[in-house]
């Protein structure tokens, strides 16, 4: 005789799926997940073609997964269960010591690196070129990595790339500068985000000034304001370690007033602030610096010294650039992820001689548009 499923089990399953169906029908679809910091899938359109080619089924499965009722609660429950099981990695994010989340770094494409070094060497024949590769917390705070973690060594990537640059290129040693600050106990990187803190960005600024022969503004000449106590960053969203405590986020204001005009060229928007405070009311609070990322920004300061600089960058530069307003009258900020700008032509047309490449190592390792340096 075949074993029959007990009636109470079958009844429980019916009730469960009935409740789930009711919740799904009553649940209002969400466009964006604040917890995961990403756009959620919307209900796919049905057609005979999408049904037959299988895309409707795939899209509907993604939609159900993204719009699952009580989804955030289940994510938090999963995170807590993994915490009890002492899981130390999720989605390429390591759970490090002292509550730090650290991102993995896969073996980079060194052929791409050598090609990019060639582009940099070529433009350095006609411009003052500075390269500042910023290590992430994965390298600077590597003592906080869990014992099994084995990311590619960012320090080796920086060393190999700098070795391929000509003597005409100025190499900014941010790694050494930040490592020198480790014994101070200061927080150089956020615990929940992949960026450096404003203090970490400040020390990187002093490292650049040293290489460029500029005088950095002393730390004592800033008023430091904590503008948020509940910043949850990108690694929090990616790793789903929901038990991690939030970060503080700070802005350094110069005590001596330095008026600026900030023009977002593509958007045709002009403001007198380096900060967009509305982002402090959202999850992506780091976007307070220069209103997140834009194709081209022109910053005019009251430095009144005639100095101009073009910065090619990723988001690490956003909290770094405000410090440069004391040293440069005109700062042009170009993000190649959103623009295809002929860089050499642009620099010549605007009378720019100084060019700074400022990226975090992991982003720079995949940069594929530096051929624009020679156009």
Between CA 161 and CA 34 the distance in angstroms is: 37
Residues 6+ apart with CB under 8 A from 22: none
**Cβ 194 vs Cβ 234: under 8 Å:** yes
Helix then strand then coil, in percent of the chain rounded to 5, is 40, 20, 40
Q: In what order do the strands lie in the sheet with 308-313?
A: 170-171, 128-134, 354-360, 308-313, 330-334, 296-300, 261-264, 269-271
Between CA 336 and CA 296 the distance in angstroms is: 9
User: Looking up tokens 């106990």, which residue turns up?
Assistant: 185
In sequence order, what are the beta bridge partners of 310? 332, 355
What pLDDT is recorded for position 37? 52
In angstroms, how far is the first alpha carbon of the chain from the final one?
Answer: 80
What pLDDT is recorded for position 240? 80
pTM: 0.81
Between CA 167 and CA 300 the distance in angstroms is: 31
What pLDDT is recorded for position 88? 75
SS3 217: coil
Distances in Å between the Cα of 271 and the Cα atoms of 268, 299, 375 are: 10, 10, 30
Cβ atoms within 10 Å, residue 230: 12
Between CA 301 and CA 36 the distance in angstroms is: 37
All structural domains of the chain with their residue ranges: 9-97, 106-374
Element spanning 302, H or E: none
Q: Which 8-state DSSP code applies to residue 312?
A: E
pLDDT (tens digit, 0 to 9) for every residue of the chain, 375 residues total? 455 556 655 556 566 555 655 655 565 666 655 554 556 556 666 677 666 666 655 655 565 555 555 455 555 555 455 555 456 788 899 999 999 999 999 999 999 999 999 999 999 999 999 999 999 999 999 999 999 899 999 999 999 999 999 999 999 999 999 999 999 999 999 999 999 999 999 999 999 999 999 999 999 999 999 999 999 999 998 888 888 999 999 999 999 989 999 999 999 999 999 999 999 999 999 999 999 999 999 999 999 999 999 999 999 999 999 999 999 999 999 999 999 999 999 999 999 999 999 999 999 999 999 999 999
**Cβ 226 vs Cβ 197: under 8 Å:** no
SS3 73: helix
Could you please report the per-residue DSSP string of 21-40?
Answer: HHHHHHPPP-SEETTTTEEP
In sequence order, what are the beta bridge partners of 189? 196
Q: Which of 310, 354, 308, 350 is nearest to 329 (CA)?
A: 308
């Amino acid at each position: 005789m075949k074993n029959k499923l007990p009636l109470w089990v079958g009844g429980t399953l019916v009730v469960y799926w009935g409740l789930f169906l009711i919740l799904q029908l009553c649940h209002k679809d969400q466009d964006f997940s604040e917890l995961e910091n990403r756009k959620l899938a919307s209900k796919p359109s049905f057609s005979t073609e999408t049904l037959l080619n299988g895309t409707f089924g795939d899209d509907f499965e993604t939609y159900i997964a993204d719009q699952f009722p009580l989804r955030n609660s289940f994510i938090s429950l999963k995170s807590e269960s993994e915490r009890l099981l002492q899981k130390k990695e999720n989605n390429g994010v390591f759970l490090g010591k002292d509550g730090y989340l650290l991102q993995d770094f896969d073996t980079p494409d060194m052929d791409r690196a050598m090609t990019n070094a060639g582009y940099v060497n070529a433009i350095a024949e006609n411009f003052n070129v500075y390269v500042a590769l910023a290590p992430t917390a994965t390298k600077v705070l590597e003592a906080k990595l869990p014992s099994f973690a084995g990311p590619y060594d960012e320090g080796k990537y920086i060393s190999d790339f700098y070795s391929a640059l000509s003597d005409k290129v100025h190499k900014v040693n941010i790694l050494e500068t930040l490592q020198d600050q480790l014994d101070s106990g200061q927080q150089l990187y956020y615990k929940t985000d992949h960026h450096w803190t404003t203090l970490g960005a400040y020390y990187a600024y002093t490292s650049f000034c040293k290489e460029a022969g500029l005088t950095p503004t002393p730390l004592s000449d800033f008023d430091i304001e904590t503008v948020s106590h509940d910043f949850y960053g990108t690694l929090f969203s990616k790793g789903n370690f929901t038990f991690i405590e939030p970060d503080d986020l700070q802005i350094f204001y110069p005590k001596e007033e330095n008026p600026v005009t900030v023009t977002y060229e593509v958007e045709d928007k002009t403001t007198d602030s380096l900060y967009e405070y509305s982002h402090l009311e959202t999850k992506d609070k780091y976007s307070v610096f220069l209103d997140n990322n834009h194709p081209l920004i022109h910053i005019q300061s009251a430095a009144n010294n005639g100095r101009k600089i073009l910065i090619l960058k990723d988001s690490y530069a956003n909290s770094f650039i405000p410090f440069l307003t004391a040293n440069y009258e005109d700062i042009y900020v170009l993000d190649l992820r959103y623009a295809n700008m002929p860089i050499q032509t642009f620099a010549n047309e605007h009378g720019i001689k100084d060019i700074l490449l400022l990226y975090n190592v992991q982003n720079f390792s995949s940069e594929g548009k530096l051929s624009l340096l020679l156009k």
